Amino acid sequence: MSEGRKRAFRPGLAASLATLAAFTVLVGLGVWQLQRLEWKQGLIADMRLRAEATPITSLPPEPLDIEDLSFRRARLTGHFVAGAEFHLPGRSFQGMTGSELAAAFVTEEGRGIIVSRGWLPPDKQEADARPELRMEGLVTIEGILRPSGWRGSDLFRPANDPEKNVWLYYDGDAMAARAGLEDPVQGLYLSLTDEPGERPLPVPLPPAVKLVNNHLEYALTWFALAGGLIAIFLLFGFSRGRDREERDAKD
Protein backbone atom coordinates (compact mmCIF):
# COMPACT_ATOMS: atom_id res chain seq x y z
CA MET A 1 0.00 0.00 0.00
CA SER A 2 2.76 2.45 0.89
CA GLU A 3 4.54 1.70 -2.38
CA GLY A 4 1.34 2.46 -4.31
CA ARG A 5 0.98 5.79 -2.59
CA LYS A 6 4.54 6.70 -3.38
CA ARG A 7 4.01 5.87 -7.01
CA ALA A 8 0.79 7.95 -7.04
CA PHE A 9 2.72 11.17 -6.43
CA ARG A 10 4.17 12.20 -9.79
CA PRO A 11 4.30 15.99 -10.17
CA GLY A 12 6.96 15.93 -12.84
CA LEU A 13 10.38 17.58 -12.97
CA ALA A 14 9.25 20.89 -14.48
CA ALA A 15 6.47 21.42 -11.92
CA SER A 16 8.79 20.44 -9.09
CA LEU A 17 11.50 22.90 -10.14
CA ALA A 18 8.99 25.71 -10.69
CA THR A 19 7.39 25.08 -7.31
CA LEU A 20 10.76 24.97 -5.56
CA ALA A 21 11.77 28.28 -7.13
CA ALA A 22 8.46 29.98 -6.25
CA PHE A 23 8.49 28.54 -2.72
CA THR A 24 12.02 29.85 -2.16
CA VAL A 25 11.01 33.32 -3.33
CA LEU A 26 7.87 33.42 -1.15
CA VAL A 27 9.68 32.26 1.97
CA GLY A 28 12.48 34.72 1.26
CA LEU A 29 9.97 37.56 1.02
CA GLY A 30 8.42 36.48 4.33
CA VAL A 31 11.82 36.43 6.05
CA TRP A 32 12.64 39.84 4.55
CA GLN A 33 9.40 41.28 5.97
CA LEU A 34 10.30 39.91 9.41
CA GLN A 35 13.64 41.69 9.13
CA ARG A 36 11.81 44.87 8.11
CA LEU A 37 9.52 44.42 11.11
CA GLU A 38 12.49 44.36 13.49
CA TRP A 39 13.98 47.45 11.81
CA LYS A 40 10.67 49.37 11.93
CA GLN A 41 10.11 48.55 15.61
CA GLY A 42 13.58 49.85 16.42
CA LEU A 43 12.94 53.02 14.44
CA ILE A 44 9.63 53.67 16.24
CA ALA A 45 11.28 53.10 19.62
CA ASP A 46 14.07 55.54 18.71
CA MET A 47 11.57 58.19 17.61
CA ARG A 48 9.65 57.86 20.86
CA LEU A 49 12.82 58.25 22.89
CA ARG A 50 13.68 61.43 21.01
CA ALA A 51 10.18 62.83 21.49
CA GLU A 52 10.33 62.16 25.24
CA ALA A 53 13.87 63.46 25.74
CA THR A 54 14.71 66.80 27.33
CA PRO A 55 13.78 69.57 24.85
CA ILE A 56 16.54 71.36 23.02
CA THR A 57 16.45 75.11 23.65
CA SER A 58 18.32 76.37 20.61
CA LEU A 59 18.58 75.40 16.97
CA PRO A 60 22.02 74.21 15.84
CA PRO A 61 23.73 75.95 12.93
CA GLU A 62 23.44 74.75 9.36
CA PRO A 63 23.86 72.21 7.95
CA LEU A 64 21.46 70.36 10.21
CA ASP A 65 21.38 66.64 10.82
CA ILE A 66 17.73 66.24 9.80
CA GLU A 67 17.56 62.58 10.72
CA ASP A 68 18.95 63.16 14.20
CA LEU A 69 16.73 66.20 14.91
CA SER A 70 13.49 64.80 13.51
CA PHE A 71 10.93 64.18 16.26
CA ARG A 72 13.13 65.87 18.85
CA ARG A 73 11.26 68.06 21.31
CA ALA A 74 12.26 71.73 21.21
CA ARG A 75 11.49 74.66 23.51
CA LEU A 76 12.26 77.95 21.79
CA THR A 77 11.97 81.57 22.86
CA GLY A 78 11.42 84.29 20.30
CA HIS A 79 8.64 86.04 18.42
CA PHE A 80 6.20 85.30 15.60
CA VAL A 81 6.64 87.36 12.46
CA ALA A 82 3.62 89.64 12.05
CA GLY A 83 1.46 88.70 9.07
CA ALA A 84 3.61 85.68 8.09
CA GLU A 85 0.98 82.95 8.22
CA PHE A 86 0.35 79.91 6.07
CA HIS A 87 -2.79 77.88 5.55
CA LEU A 88 -2.89 74.12 4.99
CA PRO A 89 -6.48 73.18 4.07
CA GLY A 90 -8.25 69.87 4.45
CA ARG A 91 -7.18 69.17 8.03
CA SER A 92 -9.67 67.43 10.34
CA PHE A 93 -10.21 67.60 14.08
CA GLN A 94 -12.82 65.45 15.85
CA GLY A 95 -14.63 64.88 12.56
CA MET A 96 -14.74 68.55 11.59
CA THR A 97 -12.86 69.79 8.53
CA GLY A 98 -10.86 72.98 8.79
CA SER A 99 -7.29 74.01 8.13
CA GLU A 100 -3.91 73.95 9.79
CA LEU A 101 -2.39 77.30 10.67
CA ALA A 102 1.37 77.69 10.35
CA ALA A 103 3.43 80.80 11.07
CA ALA A 104 6.98 82.08 10.81
CA PHE A 105 8.92 82.29 14.08
CA VAL A 106 12.29 83.88 14.86
CA THR A 107 14.25 82.75 17.92
CA GLU A 108 16.21 85.03 20.23
CA GLU A 109 19.36 83.91 18.39
CA GLY A 110 17.88 85.07 15.09
CA ARG A 111 17.09 81.63 13.62
CA GLY A 112 13.87 81.42 11.64
CA ILE A 113 11.61 78.38 11.61
CA ILE A 114 8.11 77.58 10.37
CA VAL A 115 5.76 76.60 13.21
CA SER A 116 2.53 74.63 13.01
CA ARG A 117 0.25 76.36 15.50
CA GLY A 118 -2.62 73.92 15.00
CA TRP A 119 -6.10 73.41 13.64
CA LEU A 120 -8.68 76.13 12.94
CA PRO A 121 -12.41 75.76 12.15
CA PRO A 122 -13.75 77.17 8.86
CA ASP A 123 -14.97 80.43 10.41
CA LYS A 124 -11.48 81.26 11.73
CA GLN A 125 -9.49 80.92 8.51
CA GLU A 126 -8.84 84.62 7.94
CA ALA A 127 -6.65 86.59 10.34
CA ASP A 128 -9.27 89.33 10.66
CA ALA A 129 -11.73 86.76 12.07
CA ARG A 130 -9.43 85.86 14.96
CA PRO A 131 -7.68 88.94 16.33
CA GLU A 132 -7.68 87.34 19.78
CA LEU A 133 -5.33 84.61 18.50
CA ARG A 134 -2.51 86.94 17.53
CA MET A 135 0.70 86.34 19.45
CA GLU A 136 2.85 89.42 19.86
CA GLY A 137 6.05 90.04 21.72
CA LEU A 138 8.44 87.52 23.23
CA VAL A 139 6.96 84.04 23.78
CA THR A 140 8.26 80.58 24.57
CA ILE A 141 6.87 77.75 22.47
CA GLU A 142 7.33 74.00 22.69
CA GLY A 143 6.77 71.30 20.12
CA ILE A 144 8.16 68.46 18.05
CA LEU A 145 10.58 69.03 15.19
CA ARG A 146 9.45 67.37 11.99
CA PRO A 147 11.02 67.07 8.54
CA SER A 148 9.48 69.40 5.98
CA GLY A 149 9.00 68.76 2.29
CA TRP A 150 6.94 66.16 0.48
CA ARG A 151 7.62 62.72 1.96
CA GLY A 152 5.95 60.56 -0.66
CA SER A 153 6.51 59.78 -4.32
CA ASP A 154 7.01 62.77 -6.60
CA LEU A 155 4.38 61.26 -8.85
CA PHE A 156 1.70 62.01 -6.24
CA ARG A 157 3.10 65.29 -4.90
CA PRO A 158 0.39 67.97 -4.81
CA ALA A 159 1.11 71.50 -5.96
CA ASN A 160 1.38 74.24 -3.36
CA ASP A 161 0.15 77.69 -4.35
CA PRO A 162 2.42 80.27 -2.65
CA GLU A 163 0.71 83.16 -4.46
CA LYS A 164 -2.64 82.30 -2.87
CA ASN A 165 -0.94 81.16 0.35
CA VAL A 166 -2.43 77.67 0.06
CA TRP A 167 -0.09 74.86 1.09
CA LEU A 168 -0.87 71.16 0.82
CA TYR A 169 2.39 70.15 2.48
CA TYR A 170 5.20 71.91 4.35
CA ASP A 171 7.71 73.41 1.93
CA GLY A 172 10.08 74.99 4.43
CA ASP A 173 12.25 76.80 1.89
CA ALA A 174 9.33 78.38 0.02
CA MET A 175 7.56 79.31 3.24
CA ALA A 176 10.69 80.87 4.70
CA ALA A 177 11.24 82.86 1.51
CA ARG A 178 7.66 84.12 1.57
CA ALA A 179 8.03 85.17 5.21
CA GLY A 180 11.37 86.88 4.54
CA LEU A 181 13.30 84.87 7.13
CA GLU A 182 16.99 85.75 7.00
CA ASP A 183 18.47 82.66 8.69
CA PRO A 184 15.85 79.94 8.27
CA VAL A 185 16.16 76.37 9.43
CA GLN A 186 16.47 74.08 6.43
CA GLY A 187 14.41 70.91 6.21
CA LEU A 188 12.52 71.11 9.53
CA TYR A 189 9.44 72.74 11.01
CA LEU A 190 8.10 72.77 14.56
CA SER A 191 4.70 71.27 15.40
CA LEU A 192 3.43 72.81 18.65
CA THR A 193 2.23 70.51 21.39
CA ASP A 194 0.64 73.39 23.34
CA GLU A 195 -0.32 76.92 22.45
CA PRO A 196 1.20 79.55 24.76
CA GLY A 197 -1.34 81.16 27.06
CA GLU A 198 -5.01 80.35 27.60
CA ARG A 199 -6.18 79.96 24.00
CA PRO A 200 -8.77 77.40 22.86
CA LEU A 201 -7.61 77.90 19.28
CA PRO A 202 -5.69 76.93 17.27
CA VAL A 203 -5.88 73.33 18.49
CA PRO A 204 -2.33 71.93 18.43
CA LEU A 205 -1.94 68.86 16.26
CA PRO A 206 1.07 67.18 17.84
CA PRO A 207 2.43 64.50 15.55
CA ALA A 208 1.93 60.96 16.75
CA VAL A 209 5.24 59.11 16.93
CA LYS A 210 3.90 56.42 14.70
CA LEU A 211 4.95 54.80 11.48
CA VAL A 212 3.02 52.42 9.30
CA ASN A 213 4.09 48.97 10.45
CA ASN A 214 2.36 46.23 8.48
CA HIS A 215 5.42 44.04 8.07
CA LEU A 216 4.12 41.21 10.26
CA GLU A 217 0.92 41.01 8.20
CA TYR A 218 2.98 41.03 5.01
CA ALA A 219 5.25 38.28 6.34
CA LEU A 220 2.29 36.10 7.29
CA THR A 221 0.79 36.67 3.85
CA TRP A 222 3.97 35.52 2.09
CA PHE A 223 4.25 32.46 4.35
CA ALA A 224 0.58 31.64 3.76
CA LEU A 225 1.12 31.87 0.01
CA ALA A 226 4.11 29.54 0.34
CA GLY A 227 1.98 27.08 2.28
CA GLY A 228 -0.80 27.32 -0.28
CA LEU A 229 1.69 26.71 -3.06
CA ILE A 230 2.87 23.49 -1.39
CA ALA A 231 -0.73 22.35 -0.94
CA ILE A 232 -1.46 22.95 -4.63
CA PHE A 233 1.77 21.19 -5.59
CA LEU A 234 0.80 18.12 -3.55
CA LEU A 235 -2.69 18.02 -5.00
CA PHE A 236 -1.30 18.38 -8.50
CA GLY A 237 1.30 15.66 -7.94
CA PHE A 238 -1.15 13.12 -6.53
CA SER A 239 -3.76 13.93 -9.19
CA ARG A 240 -1.21 13.55 -11.95
CA GLY A 241 0.05 10.32 -10.40
CA ARG A 242 -3.44 8.79 -10.22
CA ASP A 243 -4.12 9.77 -13.83
CA ARG A 244 -0.88 8.10 -14.84
CA GLU A 245 -1.71 4.92 -12.95
CA GLU A 246 -5.19 4.78 -14.51
CA ARG A 247 -3.66 5.06 -17.99
CA ASP A 248 -1.13 2.38 -17.15
CA ALA A 249 -3.90 0.08 -15.89
CA LYS A 250 -5.87 0.49 -19.10
CA ASP A 251 -2.82 -0.30 -21.18
Residue (of 66, 150, 167, 156) closest to 116 by Cα position: 167
In whole angstroms, give the CA distance from residue 83 to residue 54: 31
Residue 147 pLDDT > 70: yes
Q: Is the peptide bond before 63 cis (omega within 30 degrees of 0)?
A: yes
> What is the reported pLDDT for 236?
87
Mean local confidence (pLDDT), 48-68: 80
Q: Are residues 92 and 190 in the same domain?
A: yes
pLDDT band at 131 (very low <50, low <70, confident <90, very high): confident
Distance CA 186, CA 62 (A): 8
Please say whether the beta carbons of 64 and 249 come within 8 A: no
List all residues 6 or more positions away from 191 whose beta carbon is below 8 Å from its beta carbon.
115, 116, 143, 144, 145, 146, 204, 205, 206, 207
Shared domain for 78 and 187, answered yes or no, is yes
Average pLDDT in the 38-42 region? 81
1 falls within a domain: no
- Mean residue pLDDT across the chain: 85
Is 180 within the bounds of a domain? yes
| Residues 80 and 143 both lie in one domain | yes
pLDDT bin (cut points 50, 70, 90) of residue 169 is very high
In this model, does residue 32 exceed pLDDT 80?
A: yes
Q: Sorting pLDDT into bands at 50, 70 and 90, what band is 206? A: low
* Better-predicted residue by pLDDT, 195 or 124: 124
What is the three-class DSSP state of 218?
Answer: helix
pLDDT at 132: 82
Residues 103, 188, single domain; the answer is: yes
Residue 48 lies in a domain: no
Host domain of residue 153: 72-194
pLDDT of residue 38: 86
Do 190 and 245 lie in one domain? The reply is: no
Residue type, 78: G
Residues 246 and 156 in one domain: no
Is 116 part of a structural domain of the chain?
yes
Domain annotation covers residue 66 = no
Highest mean pLDDT among 102-106, 164-168, 200-204: 102-106
Q: Are residues 142 and 183 in the same domain?
A: yes
Residues 149 and 177 in one domain: yes
Whether 33 and 146 map to the same domain: the answer is no
Examine residue 87 and state whether it is found in any structural domain, yes or no: yes
pTM of the predicted model, to two decimals?
0.68
d(CA 237, CA 18): 13
The pair phi, psi for residue 182, each rounded to 5°, is -85, -35
Same-domain check for residues 156 and 82 = yes
State the total domains in the chain: 2
- Whether 178 and 222 share a structural domain: no
* pLDDT of the residue at 124: 87
H/E run at residue 88: strand 73-93
Q: In the 8-state DSSP scheme, what is residue 196?
A: S
Q: How much is the pLDDT for 119?
A: 93
Domain match, 151 and 224 both: no
